[in-house]
Amino acid sequence: MAFSVNISIEAPIENQIQEITYDGQEIYQNPLSMSESLAKLAQKIDFSKATVEDIKKENGEQPEKGEEDPLLKDPVNYQSSLWPWDTVRNKLRSALTEVCVLADVLSIAKEKRFMVLDPVQQEPVETKPIVQVYARKKALFGAASVLLNGAERLRNTQNEMTRNRSTPDFHIELLRLRQNWRLKKVSNSIIGDLSYRTAGSKYAQTGMFEVTKAEDEPPSSGSPPPSPGAGASAKPSSALRVTVPSELQGVGYIEVLCQKDQEDLCSATINTLGPSPTTANPDVHWQQKLEAAQNVLFCKELFNQLAKEAVQLQAPIPHMVVGNQILATFLPGIQLIIGLCHSAVSDKKPVAAPPQKSEHDHVLEHSLHQLLREVHHKNTHHPFPHPSSGPIGPSKRRCLAGPMAADRYELLEMTKSQTLLEQIIQQAQHFFMRRRTEYVLDTMAKEVKDPLIVSHWNALNSPMQSCVKINIMTHGYDAILRTSLVVQVGEKSLKCVCRDGRVMHMSYEPQELRDLIFCQIYQHQINAVHCLAKCMGWQFLSNSSHLGLGAVEPLGNASSCIFASPIGDRILCWAAAYMCWPELVLQEADATAPRAVPRCLMLSHAAKADSTPGQLRGRPAKSKLAEHHQRQFWYIRLDVMERKNIMNSVCLLMSYLTCGSVLS
Amino acid sequence: MRLHKKSTAMDSLTSAIKSNIIPNQEYLLQGSVFDSAVEVLLHRLRGLCDNVDSGPETFHDHEMCFSMRSSVQPMLLRVRRALDYQEMPWQLRYIGQNELGDKSRPTIVRNSIDIGTSSTIVEFLTELGCRMDFEYIVRGYMFRKGRMKITVSKIFKMGQGKPLESVEPMSQSYLVELSVLAPSGQDAIAEDMRSFAEQLRPLVQLEKLDYKRLQHVA
């Protein structure tokens, strides 16, 4: 229940007590009336005082006096109560007197007859400069000491902070983390996302990690600390800790191998966790941890995609997916092995390095990464519609398909695209073809010394095509003739373009390339002899590219050409076949003339028939002709001649024969 | 054999229509900003939308509006071509009336059919009996976020003479449109549009306009 209380407010008693009677009654002094209070105030004005400070000083003194004044003056006032303004009038009068005096003085001074006003030299204020300097110095010292104190204090606090702060501040670390990774706050915890979702990935596995404050915990009871004090005083290297999902911990990578068929297909050693470069270190910085986890997620997505495709694709030899490996056979006998290597932190036992039969191909691994990134890119970067009112999504070809009346076949073709696995298999095929071609050319260059085989590979090439230019030349005679051809290495085939415009397509078998090069060599020899003969002045009589005489050649056909010496007394016949020594046959017009060529080099037809039946190229028709014409022909033993190469020997021979005829 | 093929084509078309995969609805929100404020808006859109690495896509289009006044309700058709990409097909567009749904719908929903055509469409429409009501040039920037398309564009009046030369802007402002083309029935996208419009709120107010009121004003 609320009662209303009356509150009365009274002012305290202001009036002075004049007298207290014996019976306790107080007689109050009557308050001053308006005129009386005005008179009291007017008395206080002293017209002789000019400045306010004086008045204030006076006022400061006056209140004490003012207390007594009215009391003192009260009897006076009471006596002369008829004129309370008397003091005021007196003061005014004295003021007036003073002002009159001043006016008189000024008028007299103005007349300049009796009084002159002259300025008085003021004494200069004697200030010793040294005193000033001292004063300033003291003042500056004071200011400097204040500033120095402040700076000292700041420096001390800073040093203390950096010393005590071996772990940086949690919030600064969080800021750095936020600059690199996407974070968001969910109720009480901070969750981050390290997946490639925003970059266009459609992989289902989430890459969420949690960020917590790192506390100075005592070491867990797993392993005893090395020294009793070390564990307790170990501070974490950063103020925050990131918790990565267990399936993404550790380091992972995709291993790509190209190798020949192994007897044991379950080469499980490759399947094991490969040696990880960074061991399981719980103190690893959060940036590295997150990057490694992101990489593991990327590799998992890549492998998942490849495995799906391997199962769906229908290849002539089906692909196999075994555990963490995909086995794809792209050439007979050659396999592409793609494996996912993931070393988790929890793996305690030491991992032995698997015996690598062929080394992991970093280029193909990089290509795989690039291919998946390209898929991501296509997922996000859809082409914009032009004009802008069109729908987002269809490519330019699709947009044009309507107005340009594309048929069903074209539309279906537009929808087809190559899968990752197909693309990487193509790249691996090309890589293998290139290596094989290199091998073939290198071994041939080592084997065949007589015409030199020089190969130049193009520095720029694509993942699906490379180019090599092969020059076949004879040492010392490269100005006379150089046979060149270009071999374009594709994915499963080779294409050879010769100088004369012939184009030959070869398959992946290395023997075909060998055969081709050998054919080119043998043709080079014939053409070189031809050019050499021209240089030496010998007359070219005839040639035959495909001799139908003699035994059947294993490859190609034998060919020959015939030259006559400048004066026509000797005839030289060159006959060559694939992979055989060329044969030189010399016919002399005059059997009795001294031979220019030493006897040891010459072999008569009959002798040759006895000695080397295998290499005999029987030319019965020619020998019959020879018999008829009384001409002798001789085989030249090129193998016995000392020379650099066959061209050299032919050149020497021709020069002998020419000189010989000249001399004789 | 040929008959068999024809029926399968018709079958696939009818099944496509029935299964509701043809995007024939447009969800739209519109707003405008002054020229002085457009830079800030572009900056913000660049940050919010997809593909920050590639800059905003520009477009320069020429639009003509045809109407066929055969029945009581004239049918409006719009023909649009890209002046900066001459090889792309022209677009013929039919936009229907706004769907009179409940007022709580966050966006305008209207029927919209886009067809790619060759440049002979103008002649074709003229032969059909359509007359060109007006034409204008639009120039601006395009952004994309998921399925949503955001355009910030300026409309230019076409001057007399050559269409590309003498163009003057119609107003000192840019038109901002947020639109999605979707099959009918996917109303959830309207909510996404509204929340995206909220993110642009202090810079530009994207809302659904009542065209009937605009007509009265005009």
> What pLDDT is recorded for position B6?
58
Residue B105 confidence (pLDDT) above 50: yes
Residue A606 confidence (pLDDT) above 50: no
The answer to whether the Cβ–Cβ distance between B88 and A399 falls below 8 Å is yes
- From residue B182, alpha-carbon distances to A202, B24, B147 in Å are 21, 6, 9
pLDDT confidence band for B33 (50 / 70 / 90): very high
No. of H helices and E strands in chain B? 5, 9
The answer to whether the Cβ–Cβ distance between B114 and A391 falls below 8 Å is yes
Q: Is A392 on the interface with B (CB under 8 A)?
A: yes
> What pLDDT is recorded for position A276?
46
Closest Cα in chain B, distance from residue A416 (Å): 19
Neighbours of A213 (CB within 10 A): 12
The answer to whether the Cβ–Cβ distance between A384 and B57 falls below 8 Å is yes
Average pLDDT on B45-51 reads 87
Does residue A387 have a cis peptide bond before it, meaning omega lies within 30 degrees of 0? yes
The answer to whether the Cβ–Cβ distance between A399 and B89 falls below 8 Å is yes
pLDDT digits (tens, 9 = 90+) for B117-159: 998 999 999 999 999 999 999 999 999 988 899 999 999 988 7
Average pLDDT on B181-200 reads 88
The answer to whether the Cβ–Cβ distance between A396 and B80 falls below 8 Å is no
Residues in chain B: 218
- Token pair in block for residue B160: 């007399």
The answer to whether the Cβ–Cβ distance between B81 and A387 falls below 8 Å is yes
Helix locations, A497-592, DSSP H: 510-536
Smallest Cβ–Cβ distance between B142 and the set A388, A399, A402 belongs to A388
Task: Tell me how many residue pairs between chain A and chain B have CB atoms under 8 A apart.
Answer: 70
In chain A, what residues touch B82 (CB-CB under 8 Å)? Answer: 386-388
Smallest Cβ–Cβ distance between A387 and the set B57, B91, B147 belongs to B91
pLDDT digits (tens, 9 = 90+) for A611-628: 433 333 434 334 444 444
Average pLDDT on A408-424 reads 89
DSSP A239: S
Which range of A212-216, A370-374, B106-110 scores highest in mean pLDDT? It is: A370-374
Residue A52 confidence (pLDDT) above 60: no
Closest Cα in chain A, distance from residue B53 (Å): 10
The answer to whether the Cβ–Cβ distance between B114 and A389 falls below 8 Å is yes
In chain A, what residues touch B115 (CB-CB under 8 Å)? Answer: 402
The residue of chain A with its CA nearest to that of B89 is: A400
Smallest Cβ–Cβ distance between B151 and the set A386, A388, A403 belongs to A388
Among B149, B151, B175, pick the best mutation site for testing chain A contact (most A Cβ within 10 A): B149
- Determine the Cα–Cα distance for residues A345 and A288; give it in Å rounded to an integer: 14
CA geometry: angle A517, A522, A525, nearest 5 deg: 125
CATH number, domain B26-217, options 1.10.3720.10, 2.60.120.1310, 2.40.320.10, 3.40.50.800:
2.40.320.10
Among B59, B79, B122, B179, pick the best mutation site for testing chain A contact (most A Cβ within 10 A): B59
The answer to whether the Cβ–Cβ distance between B51 and A396 falls below 8 Å is no
Closest Cα in chain B, distance from residue A183 (Å): 16
Provide ipTM, 2 decimals.
0.84
Nearest 10 degrees: CA dihedral of A564, A566, A570, A576? -40
Q: Is A380 on the interface with B (CB under 8 A)?
A: yes
Q: Is A384 on the interface with B (CB under 8 A)?
A: yes
Q: Which H or E run includes B106?
A: none
Which residues partner with A191 through β-bridges? A184, A210
Residue A535 confidence (pLDDT) above 70: yes
Residue A233 confidence (pLDDT) above 80: no
Among A198, A380, A388, A407, pick the best mutation site for testing chain B contact (most B Cβ within 10 A): A388
pLDDT digits (tens, 9 = 90+) for A104-148: 999 999 888 888 888 888 887 777 889 999 999 999 999 999 999
- Determine the Cα–Cα distance for residues B44 and B37; give it in Å rounded to an integer: 11
The answer to whether the Cβ–Cβ distance between B116 and A389 falls below 8 Å is no
Q: Is A189 on the interface with B (CB under 8 A)?
A: no
> What pLDDT is recorded for position A56?
58
DSSP A311: H
| pTM confidence score | 0.67
Smallest Cβ–Cβ distance between B23 and the set A384, A391, A402 belongs to A391
The residue of chain B with its CA nearest to that of A378 is: B51
> What pLDDT is recorded for position B32?
92
Give the range among A291-305, A398-412, A539-553 with minimum mean pLDDT.
A539-553
The answer to whether the Cβ–Cβ distance between B88 and A388 falls below 8 Å is no
